[in-house]
Amino acid sequence: MSAPTAALLIIGNEILSGRTQDANLAFIARHLAGLGIPLREVRVVPDVEAEIVAALNALRDRYSYVFTTGGIGPTHDDITAECVAKAFGVPLLRHPEAVRRLEAHYADTGLLNEARLRMANVPEGGILIDNPVSTAPGFQIGNVFVMAGVPKIMQAMLTGITSRLVGGPVTLTRSVASAIPEGSFADPLRLLAAKHEGVDIGSYPAFRQGKVSTALVLRTADVAALDAATADVVAMLRDLGGVPEVVEGYGEEKGG
């Protein structure tokens, strides 16, 4: 059985126009990584039906799980539910349980109108995703999980569906930081990466307070391979006069 993989489809003109900065990608990637489900692709599409449907169909055929954010609110440009239904070739129905939740949430307020009831529309066969923040649910159909774009709501939704996801080996991450600029170790690092081909090694430079620093980030599910590659990276940096600092996870760009 192949290891599970995931893709993220971010939906919204506001992201592409620059009006809104996406705040969900990092949370989703790290949450899934902790479950052993690497995020392999991210696409951003406008509020255009044809583009949403095409992107969704391409991603759900290629990856174990697809997560979408945005476009499930009450306004005319919230068309994600309709697009997902078209992608799966099923009708869009008003989900009775979603309606019940909205009615309970808006009871005695006079605010439950047809626009808000649109948030209870779910493709036939869809399973609700709980929204403990503002009630209006997301939904799952097949391997597609449709969530809100508001970060606080999205995070609650994603956390709530963890039990529905089947993960694989969890990727371990380790960072080796130093003040050696990456141009100084590019050639030896190329040889080192070839030697440890089972370990993903990335170089991430930074320039802070007038000083250059570089973090070499190593990622693999194999502890022994991670230890061996880390030792070689540390030795390489020391040979260049650096004072490398090793930390678990992504760490910070610091070191001597």
Strands 39-45 and 6-11: parallel
Strand order in the sheet with 127-129: 39-45, 6-11, 65-69, 144-147, 138-141, 127-129
In the beta sheet, which residues pair with residue 175?
217, 247
CATH topology of domain 6-164: Molybdenum Cofactor Biosythetic Enzyme; Chain A (3.40.980)
pLDDT at 250: 76
| Helix 80-88 and helix 49-62, axial crossing angle in degrees, nearest 10 | 50
The span from the CA of 122 to the CA of 85, in Å, is 8
pLDDT of residue 253: 40
Residues 230 and 232: their CA atoms lie apart, in Å, by 5
Length of the chain: 256
pLDDT in tens, the chain (256 residues): 578 999 999 999 999 999 999 999 999 999 999 999 999 999 999 999 999 999 999 999 999 999 999 999 999 999 999 999 999 999 999 999 999 999 999 999 999 999 999 999 999 999 999 999 999 999 999 999 999 999 999 999 999 999 999 999 999 999 999 999 999 999 999 999 999 999 999 999 988 777 888 999 999 999 999 999 999 999 999 999 999 999 998 765 433 3
**Whole-prediction pTM value?**
0.89
CB 66 within 8 A of CB 59: yes
Dihedrals phi, psi of 5, to nearest 5 degrees: -135, 165
- Spatial contact of 72 and 148, defined as CB atoms under 8 Å apart: yes
Per domain, the residue ranges of the chain are 6-164, 172-248
As to burial, measured by CB atoms within 10 angstroms (0-12 exposed, 13-18 middle, 19+ buried), residue 255 is: buried
Name the CATH superfamily for 172-248.
ACT domain (3.30.70.260)
